[in-house]
Amino acid sequence: MDKEKIHGIVEAQREFFRSGATLPVKFRIEQLKKLKQAVIQNSRKLEDALCEDLGRAPLEAYFCDIGSTLMEINEAIKGLRRWARPETHFSGLHCFPSVTTKVYKMPYGVSLIISPFNFPVFLSLGVLVPAIAGGNTAIIKASSKSARCTAVLKEVLAGIFPENYVTVIDGGHDVADMCLAERFDKIFYTGSPKVGVHVLSEAAKNLTPTALELGGETGNWCVVRKDADLKDAARKIAFFKILNAGQICININQVAVAKEVAADFLEELKKAFVSQIGEDPVHNPEYPHLINKAAYDKCVANAEPYKDRIVFGGTGDEATCKYAPTIIYPVDSSEEIVRKELFCPLLPVVPFEDSEVEKVLGTIAEREHGLSLYIFTKDVAWAKKTMQRMQYGGGCINEVCLHMMVKGAPFNGVGHSGMGAYHGKWGFMEFTHPQTVLIGSTKFNLPLREHPYSKGRKDRLIRMIEK
């Protein structure tokens, strides 16, 4: 893949878009149905690829990537006609006699989707769905780290879509930069804040509308108060940290737990890890591995300075890139390990006095906005108020991660955790822009807006509008 080839694909897609072929809603629904059948027919191949790239068990692969993609497609097929319907607005008396205005939901055009390695199927196809639903063409720059999944995606999509409509491009950062050098009409990037800054700066050269889904510079917090159901909290937190070996943008980066219950919580968390993944997770075939040796080495390096405070886990296998879920306790909120996104199975635990929970929330608020926030407490009224005044992408009270699977609800970030939103109708809106068109009348036009303003009753009549 080189600059000339990429440029040729972009121009071919632009020509296809300008033909108007993608505009009819019927066409878009037909393409979504093709995509659905292709995912179903190749589900086993996709599961095998996810196992090869990330060590995912078949059920985890289906639950996180394949099933979630099918849910997204189904929602788009069901809702698209309603979402795409033009809105009709009364123009207002000040526009008389042109009283009808339409708002059309127009596609941007040629879109670029840059997807990451951690959920290579869902974060490619799950974004392609709203791109198609919005009436765009799409180039997917898939991750070179999840090479097998990228190869399968390339094969599957080439089997159902022509290259001038939807295509997958593989390669490393150099290829991504070649793509970003092209003039796109919409860019959607999922990944790290550092690369997000680069993507946004390149997009700014052409003033290209850009959506960013980022992990957050300092990671996502989970707060466990003294009145929480500790067993329930531990069970859910353990599940989430095991999932994809912690390589999830909305995963818990660190837990703040009330000192009054810290010892009990740690015991419950250890039991939950053992119950779900066994006493030797590194050799459990269902436990995923880190994406590559560089990620494994980074995990080891982050754990090394805290080896005297590892109270659970701390073991790994370099040959398989598996590292056990690891609890580090106690950790102060000012330490380096809780000032960056870890993206691995390490779990620092920060103790605090329950009466000083506002200090913890203040610390969270001072740092870059996370993609998620989780709170465990029996005081749901307090938790609701807290969730409504903090700044983050999305989150849960007494639960983890499920907020991103709710139909009709947006998934988004803010600041260093991103901009824009998708899933369901929100994804359709992300890949379209509202186009306001007033339908003028050629009859009964009054000269109120025209010069001269010094004659007649124009002043009094025009100022009546505000009443």
**Catalytic residue ranges:** 213, 249
342 Cβ contact partners less than 8 Å away, ≥ 6 residues apart: 219, 246, 253, 299, 302
> Concatenated DSSP letters for 107-165?
E-SEEEEE--SSSTTHHHHHHHHHHHHTT-EEEEE--SSSHHHHHHHHHHHHTTS-TTT
Whole-angstrom distance, CA of residue 215 vs CA of residue 201: 18
The C-alpha atoms of residue 88 and residue 104 are separated, in whole angstroms, by 9
Q: Which amino acid is at 281?
A: P
235, 258, 25: which is closest to 134 by C-alpha? 25
Please calculate the CA angle 334-273-237 and round it to the nearest 5 degrees: 50
374 has which bridge partners? 222, 396
What's the first-to-final CA gap in the chain, in angstroms? 63
How far apart CA 313 and CA 323 sit, in angstroms, is 8
C-alpha closest to that of 348 among 356, 357, 340: 340
| Euclidean distance between CA atoms 279 and 258, whole angstroms | 27
- What's the rounded Cα separation, in Å, for the pair 153 and 148? 9
